[in-house]
Structure 1
């Protein structure tokens, strides 16, 4: 059995939740071949899929929403990129159909959540499972008439499939498919290198994990010195000058390249970042307090913020508060209005994919 996963290249969260689900699927069906098809940064893929036998296929299936930075969208650039992608997709479909067919094994396609996954599945005569908390039709609809054609195209694709695995904090996704609602989708933390674990526990400073997704935000490094009684944990920035600058700040610790933010959450009290599906799931599963910066121009953000208010201890920041260092880390958190969510979504999704594969693929 070949499980071919089309993952959005829009951001890291889609790949992170698929890594959590596929790890559970591999445990259930260790002889199945898992294929990851995306243009998400390869270093990130190798980190989240580490120790999981996956085949990586570098293919861009969607555009999503191009962004100026972690908090700002760029609709005009998105429209141009959508047209460029449309011109390139026929060749990419031919290429991947040929590669998959040469594997000479039954196949199931998972879409998270590029619309063209529907065309790939139909070309292969394979069942299709969607997994996500929004579709690009939900994201493009508020952006006006220039996106109407892309909305219709996405809606038509999303209505073709065997099942929708609806993640928490979801938008409408009115696709008229059979659905299964999932709880939080999050992987388990890995153990830390002993020396790094000791560094995180060497004093009584509370650890604060800082994360703004793959784009980052470019916070002024001196802002961290406004909170000398807190230790801030950050991914290593790619910019060598910024990395060098951050390394000189006493209360900033850069994560080793082989450590995910998820892995240090058990050692943290709070998380400072933007609205993001996977970071919310992982932080809520670890029961962290979330300090979240409001985000404009992306429809998912409003639903994520409502989920934050309902299910996590939190503080909501304005962008100007973030950029001035007014992070409220010494202030009490707002309690959730509805209580915590379970964090069993990854195994729920894996079991559902297995059922579809056995009931559908193996009868073809």
Structure 2
């Protein structure tokens, strides 16, 4: 089967399975209908022009989807789920500090609403590879801890105003408490939780900051269940857990179309440099790349001059198409980059980032599927790229798990778990 078709089916099935689970938190009857559809009632399915499943629903719902503003990985996976929710006829209110273009690249609909709100700071970084634990805790205290009472009151009022049926969080903790206070169900979607990330920072800052982690964990414990994505770290705050396959954005263009649009010959080796903004010390030079290679740079500033064998990509570029058309990725380990590299079988050369407890688990998943190798920070900055690129070309990424993400067996198993949760 053509790789792009396989990738498209992978995304559609995985996200469809994901949506089946989300519906369950609001109405078990809807889950029953959805599972029935997946288990044989094909006549109830429709498809859009791009081949993505549009699922019939017996009830229109209002989703309040909270998305952390930290990095693009959260927003990109949410965008794909939101696209399917909109396609199924529901209203989705996205609450985030992330750029709107991440979502509007995927969805154009009057049923999609945006609310620009900062409810947590994520991790404070001085550049793409440097996390500042103390600055993170200080900002979190100022933006989330001190105004907590005001945040709870405002979000309670807003959820009532939009008549939300379900709160989905990726992975803002405070809103789980808000949903419980309002009396509506909530679901978290994550491969990590902020209490586990901040635990490392508290160890660096000292025990006086311990209450931050305890409050985050307590807030998470109010959600009905966690939809746990692959590459997950331990998340003991959640009582009920459902595992799902990778959720990644679908492809729109073939490798040939991408190369033609960028004016790149078929015989040129492509590497995409994707750090969400390059490390501040990184000064790109022509000799960094072997002969016959071209580097596509994500996040380059408008004023940054690049050598002839480096090419800037627009800030709103649709990276899944670029990754699928590339021979290799150089970047940091985050869910968005890792999941898309695995899904589209693009070798990943990664650089370690301190103070981010998500990383060891993404690394384990990446290496398990023969999809990545580590480059030292010194090698990145000094331009010693050639041996890593050559080694990456020998990798054979083999992630196939999620192609069956929407299978009847998995959906049925999910329904069984949800039924148990609802009766407990």
Q: TM-score, normalised by structure 1?
A: 0.85
| Distance verdict in 2 for CA 1:197–1:3, change over 3 Å | farther
CA distance in structure 2 between the aligned counterparts of 1:100 and 1:3, rounded to whole angstroms: 10
Compute the displacement of 1:123 (Å): 3.1
CA distance in structure 2 between the aligned counterparts of 1:194 and 1:270, rounded to whole angstroms: 18
CA distance in structure 2 between the aligned counterparts of 1:231 and 1:165, rounded to whole angstroms: 38
Q: Which residue of 2 aligns with 1:187?
A: 249
| Distance verdict in 2 for CA 1:204–1:128, change over 3 Å | same
| Distance verdict in 2 for CA 1:71–1:332, change over 3 Å | closer
Q: Which runs of 4+ in 1 moved over 6 A?
A: 345-348
Compute the displacement of 1:152 (Å): 0.8
The residue matched to 1:131 in structure 2 has which SS?
strand
Q: Which residue of 1 aligns with 2:16?
A: none
CA distance in structure 2 between the aligned counterparts of 1:355 and 1:165, rounded to whole angstroms: 13
Match runs of 1:229-244 below 5 Å: 229-237=292-300, 239-242=301-304
Q: Which residue of 1 aligns with 2:153?
A: 94
Gaps of 5+ in 1: 360-364
User: Is residue 155 of structure 1 aligned with residue 217 of structure 2?
Assistant: yes
| Distance verdict in 2 for CA 1:200–1:120, change over 3 Å | farther
| Distance verdict in 2 for CA 1:226–1:269, change over 3 Å | closer
1:322 to 380, 385, 397: 380
Match runs of 1:1-364 below 5 Å: 1-27=61-87, 29-30=88-89, 32-47=90-105, 49-51=106-108, 53-85=111-143, 86-103=145-162, 105-143=163-201, 144=203, 145-191=207-253, 197-213=260-276, 215-218=277-280, 219-222=282-285, 226-237=289-300, 239-242=301-304, 245-246=305-306, 249-327=307-385, 328-332=388-392, 335=395, 339-343=398-402
| Distance verdict in 2 for CA 1:293–1:183, change over 3 Å | same
Compute the displacement of 1:142 (Å): 2.7
| Distance verdict in 2 for CA 1:346–1:16, change over 3 Å | farther
Q: Is the 8 A contact 1:233 1:254 kept in 2?
A: yes
The residue matched to 2:172 in structure 1 has which SS?
coil
Q: TM-score, normalised by structure 2?
A: 0.73
Compute the displacement of 1:170 (Å): 0.7
Compute the displacement of 1:91 (Å): 2.8
| Distance verdict in 2 for CA 1:150–1:258, change over 3 Å | closer
CA distance in structure 1 between the aligned counterparts of 2:395 and 2:311, rounded to whole angstroms: 28
CA distance in structure 1 between the aligned counterparts of 2:136 and 2:294, rounded to whole angstroms: 37
The residue matched to 1:240 in structure 2 has which SS?
coil
Q: Is the 8 A contact 1:224 1:251 kept in 2?
A: no
For residues 264-296 of structure 1, give each alpha carbon's deviation from its aligned partner in whole angstroms, at most 9, with x where no partner exists: 122111111011111100110000011111222
Q: Is the 8 A contact 2:96 2:118 kept in 1?
A: yes
For residues 93-151 of structure 1, give each alpha carbon's deviation from its aligned partner in whole angstroms, at most 9, with x where no partner exists: 33333333223x35200111111011221232110001101111111223312431111
Compute the displacement of 1:45 (Å): 4.2
Compute the displacement of 1:315 (Å): 1.9
Compute the displacement of 1:236 (Å): 4.7
Q: Is the 8 A contact 2:79 2:102 kept in 1?
A: no
Compute the displacement of 1:320 (Å): 0.3
Q: Is the 8 A contact 1:21 1:346 kept in 2?
A: no
CA distance in structure 2 between the aligned counterparts of 1:343 and 1:197, rounded to whole angstroms: 30
Q: Alignment RMSD, CA only? A: 2.9
CA distance in structure 2 between the aligned counterparts of 1:195 and 1:308, rounded to whole angstroms: 25
Q: Is the 8 A contact 1:200 1:267 kept in 2?
A: no
- Aligned residue pairs total 344
Gaps of 5+ in 2: 1-60, 420-424
